[in-house]
């Protein structure tokens, strides 16, 4: 039986988080949001997610610190991380990939392709598993 893709968004900008939620839910994803890095880590550790979307600028831990901690935990290290940020410098992007992110989406992002782009990382991970068949909703 196919399961819905579970996405954790960690972003303190409520309108941007609401927009990402709408776009992802249209594709069948189940979305949970956190407005601080600490709350994001708590949720990541207590629930199962298929994808993490992180903003860099958060009121407590920045997204880089959150990503670093996610990648150090055996249960979470293989969950794809995508940064969604207004920082467009090569240094920010380079650090994101160095820490293990699979993508870096610039804000403002193109709404028509956002969900397809970020959910594609869940598809790639599923295709790499034995059997090679994605099972989540939104993996058309």
Given a cut of 60, whether residue 1 has pLDDT beyond it is: no
In DSSP terms, which residues pair with 6 in a beta bridge? 30
Q: Are 95 and 88 in contact (CB under 8 A)?
A: no
* Banded model confidence at residue 137, pLDDT cuts 50, 70, 90: very low
Express the helix, strand and coil content of the chain in percent, nearest 5 each: 45, 20, 40
Taken in order of first residue, the domains within the chain and their CATH numbers are 6-128 (3.40.50.2300)
Given a cut of 70, whether residue 129 has pLDDT beyond it is: no
| Half-sphere exposure at residue 35, Cβ-oriented, CA atoms within 13 angstroms | 6
pLDDT for the residue 131:
59
Mean pLDDT of 75-104: 97
Q: How far apart are CA 67 and CA 46, in angstroms?
A: 16
């Amino acid at each position: 039986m196919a399961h819905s893709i579970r996405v954790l968004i960690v972003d303190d900008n409520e309108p941007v988080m609401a927009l990402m939620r709408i776009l992802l839910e249209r594709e069948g994803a189940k979305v949970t949001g956190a407005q601080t890095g600490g709350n994001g880590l708590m949720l990541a550790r207590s629930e199962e997610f298929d994808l993490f979307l992180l903003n860099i600028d958060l009121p407590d831990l920045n997204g880089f610190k959150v990503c670093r901690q996610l990648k150090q935990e055996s249960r979470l290290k293989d969950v794809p991380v995508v940064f969604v940020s207004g920082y467009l410098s090569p240094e920010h992007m380079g650090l994101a990939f160095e820490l293990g992110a699979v993508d870096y989406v610039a804000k403002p992002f193109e709404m028509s392709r956002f969900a397809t782009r970020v959910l594609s990382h869940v598809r790639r991970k599923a295709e790499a598993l034995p059997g090679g068949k994605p099972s989540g909703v939104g993996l058309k």
